[in-house]
Structure 1
Amino acid sequence: MRRLLLAVLITLIAIPAFAAEAPQTEEQKTLYAIGLIMARQLSVFSLSPAELDMVKQGLSDGITGTKPLVNVEAYQKKVQELATARRNAQGEKLAIAAKDFIAKAAKEKGAITTKSGLVYLPLKEGNGASPAASDKVKVQYRGTLIDGTEFDSSYKRGEPAEFPLNRVIPCWTEGVQMMKPGGKAKLVCPAATAYGEKGAGPIPANATLVFEIELLNVTKEK
């Protein structure tokens, strides 16, 4: 599947058929979505416009059969090294920015900071018993990075999420236990309580995450 996506992306870059206008048909939208998916995979490199042009040149040469300007096998290790270096550099910047963000959130009215560093901000009080870590919860939520970039949203998917509370990131397991059904809260999750130094998908390494969560229902596990 990954090879197929890469092949399609190469074709799209080499022949930018829909670059001048927004996608109209379902096929065009699907192809555009493939580009977005591949862009997420390349996001670790934090490419500048000039660097992106160099990547496009490599992709174009590869799909058109133009003689490569470098030996790709010889550079596979360097690609991994560059990814690691860029990821680490991005992580260091995020860690520095997160300190001020977390400190500011902790000063908001009603904020509670736990021992783990989680900042819990109640937005709407609920009623009833709070869930235990072993309970199953149904929630609506929106997740963003500290710069406001949204990386996940049950609202956009059009349906709430349901899962055992002890099978998610520590920030959620801890924070949702502080809520009651019908309530809404914001969780500011330091990287150590989220995806840590490795990150996950569109979430970079050392990223502090912000979640707005509505607790819809709790199913007590026996």
Structure 2
Amino acid sequence: MGGGGGGASVDPKTEDDKVFYALGLDIGKNIDVFGLQPNEAELVKSGLSDAIAKKKPKVDLEVVRPKIFELARKRQEAKAGSEKTKGKAMVDKAAKEPGAQQLPSGLVIKTLRPGTGASPNENDTVKVQYEGRLTDGTVFDSSYKRNEPAEFPLKGVVRCWTEGLQKMKVGEKAQLTCPADIAYGDQGRPPTIPGGATLVFDVELLEIKAAAATPPTAPPAGASDPHQPPAPAAKK
């Protein structure tokens, strides 16, 4: 839970132990948006313990509940703002690299290996290999690791990809540096991609398959399907 807290850690030994421990992990990930400090984490654990033990609550939950959502919103905005500040520095640096091209949307494209084939349009379906990274270099998705190229309609992915792939030719490998506004926005895609995150993709355009008839439904926010390319960011 964010900054963590005191208390002895219990190692899961049996299969049931592992299930209950995993339940705790899941709860922790669901409240990661709060970025809890150690003293705040202790209060959360106290409330959880009281609820499990069916003790009389120390506060009126129905009265305080709206404040929970307000706190989550404020902390998410603050975290997204911090991510955008870090991301802007990366975008500015990428735009100054030799051979880089910055589009009006803020997307920076740099060719790593030229291609000689055709370029797709937004109605096409493409086949690619790619790796996605955060500003700190953390790889959050990679078709290379799966050893399985991805196929998707350009209308079914984040704007960064829709714009970037249309600037590429078949056979080309390029690096796309994507500001949050044309990636996953302030919401991000927890727990993998934080709100406000600038993303860097290395993309190889292998093939233009055909015009897409109907774009697939994007995974819900927060879902993690390693076999899906970047889905459209949720609209505000």
Name the structure 2 match of 1:84: 73
Match 1:206 to one of 170, 179, 196: 196
Aligned: 1:112 with 2:101: yes
Q: Which deviates more from structure 2 when the two are superposed, residues 182-191 or residues 154-163?
A: 154-163
The CA distance in 2 between the partners of 1:50 and 1:44, in whole Å, is 16
Q: Which amino acid aligns with 1:218?
A: I
Aligned CA distance change for structure 1 residues 123 and 34 (closer, same or farther; 3 Å): farther
Q: Distance in 2 between matches of 1:49 and 1:194?
A: 32
What residue number does 2:174 align with?
Answer: 185
Q: Which residue of 1 aligns with 2:60?
A: 71
Residue of structure 2 in register with 1:216 after alignment? 206
- Correspondence list, 1:85-104, <5 A: 85-104=74-93
Task: Please say if 1:42 is aligned against 2:35.
Answer: no
Residue equivalent to 2:156? 167
RMSD: 3.1
Residue segments in structure 1 that go unaligned for 5+ positions in a row: 1-12
In the alignment, the residues of structure 2 paired with residue 179 and residue 130 of structure 1 have an alpha-carbon distance, to the nearest angstrom, of: 6
3-state secondary structure, aligned to 2:132: strand
Distance 1:44 1:214, change over 3 A: same
Report the alpha carbon displacement of residue 41 of structure 1 after superposing the two structures with TM. Answer: 2.5
Aligned counterpart, 1:52: 41
Pick aligned residue for 1:134 from 110, 123, 144: 123
**Could you tell me which residue of structure 2 aligns to residue 5 of structure 1?**
none
Partners of 1:14 and 1:59 within 8 A in 2: no
Letter in 2 for 1:190: P
Shift of 1:135: 0.8
TM-score normalised over the length of structure 2: 0.73
Sequence identity of aligned pairs in percent? Answer: 50
Which stretch shows the higher mean deviation, 144-153 or 69-78? 144-153
Cα distance change, pair 31–217 in 1 and its aligned pair in 2 (3 A): farther
Q: Is the 8 A contact 1:14 1:60 kept in 2?
A: no
Q: Does 1:148 align with 2:137?
A: yes
- TM-score, normalization: structure 1? 0.77
Aligned to 1:62: 51
Instruction: Report if aligned partners of 1:137, 1:217 keep a CA contact under 8 Å in 2.
Output: yes
Residue 165 of structure 1 and its aligned partner are, at CA, apart by 0.7
Per the TM alignment, residue 110 of structure 1 is displaced from its structure 2 partner at its CA by 1.9
Asked if 2 retains the 8 angstrom alpha-carbon contact of 1:146 and 1:208, the reply is: yes
Residues matched between the structures, number: 205
Cα distance between partner residues in 2 of 1:106 and 1:79: 40
| Distance (Å, rounded) in 1 between the aligned partners of 2:51 and 2:75 | 24
Q: Do 1:111 and 1:120's aligned partners in 2 also have CA atoms closer than 8 Å?
A: yes
